[in-house]
């Protein structure tokens, strides 16, 4: 069986790919298990040398990789270039710090010698998303491989080239040993085959629903599992916030990558005393965004990744308006080809669909809170708990408030983002 990829900006078919079946996946896993036996014994100095070389190769090939990201999933090429640069920085960071991270940790006990030693695990199977097709793979694969593991990646069927085959070729170009990094291309059945194969651990970045299914499959064999799932991150603006900085943060936090990020700002909770000026400035700034051809370096926002994604945003918007939300800006498909949708803002309450569900697109619900305590309550009134941001001129106040937010990572006067120097993950779903 085969599947096609489609350019979301033009709706034109890009390429056709064979769907790898269970037999093909099992063959790759068998080769990976064989490669692991020698890779785990490879000196860490050699492993870090190869990872650093990969970083340089990513920079050398960044235009090609960025253009493929943009073609397959519609991200503005300026943002795609930044994604590839982040990949290179990940390689450099872990190459520089690997020996420190992996050295034995000595513990004082009554015994002659006690220490914790980090040993490689084996074959790691990763199911990766389409929204950051290159950086998500590099962020998971490189530190794991430096630690002596080998990697099999199943990219999204939306981004098999930028999230799989091009990355696999870069590893080959850097002369990594054969089969220590492999890509399997296909659909969800391919992913299921990978999870159920003889891999030692599984990672997934995707929806909560997909994560639940993968976790259940992996637990049948008690495989280690790492999941990075969805979010409905609150963006809290207090009365003393620097309004210009907050607005710039809000625009980037909501509309970068057309709002298709797990860490995007998805609920804007603004104190009543400034809600009017915030909303006015937010709408004014949003109107200035350039929406269009993602291959153009001046474009701020491209299309949604698929027609289904556009329909989902339309449904969430319509449901919220039926529940009493007020449309402030946008709300319509854009004319012409491509899965474009206008940057949209609504005045909402936290019980509306756009706030209860994860809105994975350019839809910004603005919620008014009467007090700081109410803002905290609204922020925590969700089944998600990935990230949050607080905007205030009083950093200490922001830090104290952050401790009351039920989320894995909380930023003060910065948008939520993954940072390889810090832990990253959420609470709850």
Return the closest-CA partner of residue 249 out of 361, 389, 344: 389
Written as six digits, the tokens of 96 are 């520089």
Interior CA angle at 153 toward 64 and 427, to 5°? Answer: 105
CB of 183 closer than 8 Å to CB of 168: yes
Residue pLDDT, tens place only, 296-354 = 999 999 999 999 999 999 999 999 999 999 999 999 999 999 999 999 999 999 999 99
Written as six digits, the tokens of 261 are 């990020």
Q: Does domain 233-412 have CATH number 1.10.3720.10?
A: no
Catalytic site residue 37? Answer: no
d(CA 312, CA 25): 32
pLDDT of amino acid 162: 98
Query: Helix (H, G, I), strand (E, B), or coil: what is residue 106?
Result: strand
CB of 177 closer than 8 Å to CB of 50: no
Q: Based on the number of CB atoms within 10 Å of its own CB, is 105 exposed (0-12), middle (13-18) or buried (19 or more)?
A: exposed
R_g of the chain, CA atoms, integer Å: 22
Say how many C-beta atoms besides its own lie within 10 A of residue 118's C-beta: 12
Domain residue ranges in the chain = 2-228, 233-412
pLDDT of amino acid 365: 99
pLDDT of amino acid 38: 98
Right CATH for 2-228 from 3.40.605.10, 3.40.50.720, 1.10.579.10, 3.40.50.300: 3.40.605.10
Non-local (6+) Cβ contacts of 134 within 8 A are: 65, 69, 83, 84, 87, 162, 163, 166, 167
CB of 52 closer than 8 Å to CB of 142: no
Strands 344-348, 326-329: parallel, antiparallel or unpaired by DSSP?
antiparallel
Give the HSE-up count for residue 206: Cα atoms under 13 Å, Cβ half-sphere. Answer: 21
Cα separations (Å) of 31 from 163, 234, 402? 21, 44, 47
Q: Which listed residue (72, 83, 168, 228) is catalytic?
A: 228
Strands 387-391, 409-412: parallel, antiparallel or unpaired by DSSP?
parallel
Which residues are paired to 267 by β-bridges? 234
pLDDT of amino acid 209: 87
Q: Which listed residue (262, 355, 357, 358) is catalytic?
A: 262
CB of 391 closer than 8 Å to CB of 240: no
d(CA 181, CA 167): 9
Low-confidence ranges of the chain (pLDDT < 50): none
Cα separations (Å) of 58 from 92, 153, 162? 11, 18, 12
Catalytic site residue 228? Answer: yes
Say how many C-beta atoms besides its own lie within 10 A of residue 100's C-beta: 7
pTM for the full predicted model: 0.95
| Dmax (CA) of the chain | 74
CB of 345 closer than 8 Å to CB of 286: yes
DSSP one-letter string for 6-30: E-TTT--EEEEEEPP-HHHHHHHHH
């Amino acid at each position: 069986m085969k599947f096609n990829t489609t350019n979301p900006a033009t709706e034109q078919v890009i390429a056709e790919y064979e769907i790898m079946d269970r037999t093909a996946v099992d063959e790759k896993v068998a080769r990976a298990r064989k490669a692991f036996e020698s890779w785990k014994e490879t000196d860490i100095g050699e492993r870090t040398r190869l990872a650093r070389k990969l970083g340089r190769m990513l920079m050398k090939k960044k235009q090609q990789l960025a253009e493929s990201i943009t073609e397959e999933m519609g991200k503005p090429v300026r943002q795609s270039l930044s994604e590839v640069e982040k990949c290179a920085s990940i390689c450099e960071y872990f190459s520089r710090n690997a020996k420190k991270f992996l050295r034995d940790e000595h513990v004082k006990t009554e015994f002659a010698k006690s220490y914790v030693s980090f040993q490689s695990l084996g074959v790691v199977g990763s199911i990766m998303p389409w929204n950051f097709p290159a950086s998500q793979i590099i962020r998971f694969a490189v530190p794991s491989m430096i630690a002596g593991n080998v990697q099999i990646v199943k990219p999204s069927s939306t981004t098999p080239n930028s999230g799989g085959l091009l990355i696999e070729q870069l590893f080959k170009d850097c002369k990594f040993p054969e089969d220590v990094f492999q890509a399997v291309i296909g659909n969800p059945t391919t992913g299921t085959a990978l999870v159920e194969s003889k891999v030692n651990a599984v990672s997934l970045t995707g929806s909560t629903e997909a994560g639940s299914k993968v976790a259940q499959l992996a637990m049948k064999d008690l495989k280690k599992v790492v999941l990075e799932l969805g979010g409905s991150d609150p963006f809290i603006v207090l009365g003393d916030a620097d309004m210009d900085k907050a607005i710039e943060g809000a625009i980037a936090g909501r509309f970068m990558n057309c709002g298709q990020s797990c860490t995007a700002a998805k609920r804007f909770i603004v104190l009543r005393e400034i809600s009017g000026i915030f909303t006015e400035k937010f709408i004014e700034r949003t109107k200035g965004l350039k929406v269009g051809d993602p291959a153009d370096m001046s474009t701020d926002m491209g299309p949604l990744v698929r027609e289904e994604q556009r329909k989902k945003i339309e449904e969430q918007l319509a449901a919220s308006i039926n529940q009493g939300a007020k449309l402030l800006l946008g709300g319509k498909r854009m004319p012409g080809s491509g899965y474009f949708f206008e940057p949209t803002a609504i005045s909402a309450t936290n019980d509306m669909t756009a706030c209860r569900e994860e809105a994975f697109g350019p839809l910004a619900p603005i919620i008014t809170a009467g007090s700081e305590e109410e803002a905290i309550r609204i922020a925590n009134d969700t089944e998600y708990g990935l990230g949050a941001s607080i905007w205030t001129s009083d950093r200490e106040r922001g830090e104290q408030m952050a401790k009351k937010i039920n989320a894995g990572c909380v930023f003060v006067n910065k948008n939520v983002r993954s940072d390889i120097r810090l832990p990253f993950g959420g609470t709850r779903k």
